[in-house]
Structure 1
């Protein structure tokens, strides 16, 4: 542990706390604490005597307590290591060969009819795809060629799900919300605005190369937008269950499922068939 005299000697030589701490092998905030006996976060009200202690700078010391964070995943060396690791690891290669991102199970099982349950299950399938997308490294995190191809396939699967999910909500859910809830118009308008923003991001994402930083930025934006929209709809579903009779919700749920079942089947992005 450096002594107070060591820190103050370096300060007297014209160094700031960052450089003094670097030379002594301690964080800048710790160097400040050693020199002054005070925390660098400025959380305490200083007395006049403390303000004039040796080593007290004139400017704020908050930056010494909260140094800039460094993200190692953005370094070129880290990215190269991740690429080598993915290529040489037998289990990772085997998992990649068996990879199939499609959600398991029926989209709408026969025992699920009620509107909010049908839509919640579909939300879970979409958020599951988004979690896979987030888990796969993009180009900014050293993703390999296969990683980027899988991310592109996941985006295609998300698009397939939302291209039938959103129209079903706009045709069956939001009219019911407008009729059943006293604030239904406002809630429906807000939801449609969120859906429009999300679909705009998704359209841009589908038109962007997966080996670009823009793809990664759009993917993060889409994940955030969908997560926020799902949370919003969950709150609306709670109110709808309280205000719309069960039989009406069952009827609407059946109409949503029928719309999905009559929609054209879209092939898997990688050409796989069930």
Structure 2
């Protein structure tokens, strides 16, 4: 522990507290405390006597309190340590082997033709997959090869769900929104642009290896865009329920279900949904 004399001697040579603290191997706030006997948080009103203490600067000392934050997970050595720890944890490895990348089963398995209920269940599948994508560590968080591969599989499943969901919406939902809602054109245009953004991100993910940091960045972008899109559509569904009768919503749902099921029978790939214009 440096002494008050050592700190004050360095200050007399023209060094500031940060420089003096670096020489002595202590934080700047601690060097100030040693020299003056006062904390560097600036929280107290100093008396005239305290202001005359040796080592008291003329300006605020708040900047001496908290050193610059450093993210240790950005270092390769820390990432390697995390990987080694994960590989040596038998319980963690066992849990990873048992994890199923597929979404959980729905609590309500009754079929429905009501269009907003039908599409909300698709949203629930997307949300379940996004939660798993967020939970399973990728390269940036020291994920194992098996975990990173599983993240790639989840992205594939998201692409398969959206490959059936979005064309059916484009064929039936958004034309109905344009027809029955006062601001339907603006809502449909906004939704379709969001879908195109998601498609572009899925296409980029399709060409990116799951064991790369680029994949992690794109997966985070996809999650953010899909969550925003789901929330936007849910708000449109509320307006649609108010504008259409139950029979109209059921008829629309039956048409949408047929289109979705037909699209779902076509082979899916890592490219995600087809990018189509309205």
What TM-score range do you get, normalising by the shorter chain? Answer: 0.7 to 0.9
Q: Offset of 1:157 from its aligned partner?
A: 0.9
1:26 Cα deviation from its structure 2 partner:
7.0
Q: Structure 1 pair 151/16, CA: closer, same or farther in 2 (3 Å)?
A: farther
Q: How does the TM-score come out when normalised to structure 2?
A: 0.76
Structure 2 match to 1:255: 255
Shift of 1:143: 1.9
Provide the secondary structure at the position in 1 that maps to 2:105: coil
Q: Tell me the secondary structure at the aligned position of residue 208 of structure 1.
A: coil
Report deviation, 1:2: 9.4
Give the Cα–Cα distance (whole angstroms) in 2 for the partners of residues 176 and 219 of structure 1.
Answer: 32
Structure 2 distance, partners of 1:140, 1:5, is: 46
Structure 2: give runs of 5+ residues left out of the alignment: 44-52, 271-278
Aligned-pair CA distance for 1:89: 2.0
After TM superposition, give the deviation of residue 32 of structure 1 in Å: 7.0
* Partner SS for 1:227: helix
CA contact (8 A) 1:11 1:55 kept: no
Partner of 1:240: 240
2:187 alignment partner, SS class = helix
Shift of 1:62: 7.7
Q: Are the counterparts in 2 of residues 74 and 141 from structure 1 also a CA contact under 8 Å?
A: no
CA distance in 1, matches of 2:140, 2:121: 32
Q: Give me the whole-angstrom Cα distance separating, in 1, the residues matched to 2:172 and 2:184.
A: 13
User: For residues 7 and 243 of structure 1, what CA distance do their matches in structure 2 show?
Assistant: 75
Q: 1 CA distance for matches of 2:219 and 2:250? A: 34
Matches within 5 A, 1:94-105: 94-105=94-105
Unmatched tracts of structure 1, length 5 or more: 44-52, 270-274
Question: In the superposition, relative to structure 1, how do residues 253 and 142 fare at CA in structure 2: closer, same or farther (>3 Å)?
Answer: same
Counterpart secondary structure, 1:165: helix
Give the deviation of 1:166 after TM superposition: 1.2
**Is residue 89 from structure 1 mapped to residue 102 from structure 2 by the alignment?**
no
Aligned residues: 263
- Determine if the alignment matches structure 1 residue 70 to structure 2 residue 81: no
1:60-209 equivalences under 5 Å are 68-105=68-105, 109-209=109-209
Aligned to 1:226: 226
Compute the TM-score of the two structures, normalised by the length of structure 1. Answer: 0.77
Task: State the distance in 1 between where 2:84 and 2:180 align.
Answer: 57
How far apart are 1:78 and its partner, in Å?
A: 2.5
Larger RCO of the pair (alpha carbons < 8 Å, separation 6+): 2
Structure-2 separation of matches of 1:132 and 1:224: 14
Counterpart-to-counterpart distance in 2, 1:160 and 1:107: 21
Please report the RMSD computed on the Cα atoms of aligned residues, expressed in angstroms.
Answer: 3.8
TM-fit CA distance, 1:33: 8.8
Larger Rg: 2
Deviation at 1:27, TM superposition (A): 5.6
Which residue does the alignment assign to 2:47? none
Instruction: Note the C-alpha offset of 1:74.
Output: 2.1
Comparing 223-232 and 84-93, the one that deviates more: 84-93
